[in-house]
Amino acid sequence: MTSKTSEPGELTGRKVAAIFVVFFGVIMAVNFTMASFASSTFGGVVVKNSYVASQKYNGWLAAAREQKKLGWTPVVSRLADGRVAVQVAGASGEGLGVIARARHPLGRAPEQELNLAPAADGSFISAAPLPAGRWMVRFEVRQGDKVYRDEQEIR
């Protein structure tokens, strides 16, 4: 039996196998990296039960139409001292109440209940400041049986 030596630059079975191993190794490394980034930044729950949510969809649309008829325009902002202010344009101040919760969009900080009190200018201001960063404020404005719900981002 004679052994054949490969010439430099010749494509052998070992070189092809090494190319395949390196190629698929890179693909797998990128996939695992992207999967770990995706799973660490999204909690994965939008609604607890999608079937039940789908059964309520038409009711949510009707409530949104009623809400739009109110003509209210709430605006959430952060004051210089870090407190949260909710201004409701188009609503009279008598009997008006606002409740709100702030949540971190990536779930990295716990939700915070915002205790809002009416201010002299007609806005509602939280008692305590909200930590710096990006927050989603979900609020509900009530006046008698009229309800306006929304969610706005503040930074």
Place of tokens 């630059």: 9
Per-residue pLDDT of 11-62, as tens digits, reads: 899 999 999 999 999 999 999 999 988 877 776 667 788 898 899 999 999 9
pLDDT value, residue 121:
84
Residue 137: helix, strand or coil by DSSP?
strand
Q: Which of 118, 125, 114, 116 lies closest to 79 in space, CA to CA? A: 125
Place of tokens 């409701």: 88
Q: Per DSSP, which regions of the chain are E strands?
A: 73-78, 84-89, 96-103, 112-114, 116-118, 124-126, 135-143, 146-154
Q: Do residues 133 and 82 touch, judged by C-beta distance below 8 A?
A: no
Per-residue pLDDT of 57-105, as tens digits, reads: 999 999 999 989 988 888 899 999 989 999 888 877 678 888 999 998 7
pLDDT value, residue 38:
83
User: What residue type is assigned to position 125 of the chain?
Assistant: I
Per-residue pLDDT of 128-149, as tens digits, reads: 988 888 899 999 998 888 889 9
For range 147-154, the mean pLDDT: 89
What's the angle, vertex CA 154, arms to CA 149 and CA 155, rounded to 5?
Answer: 165
pTM of this structure:
0.62
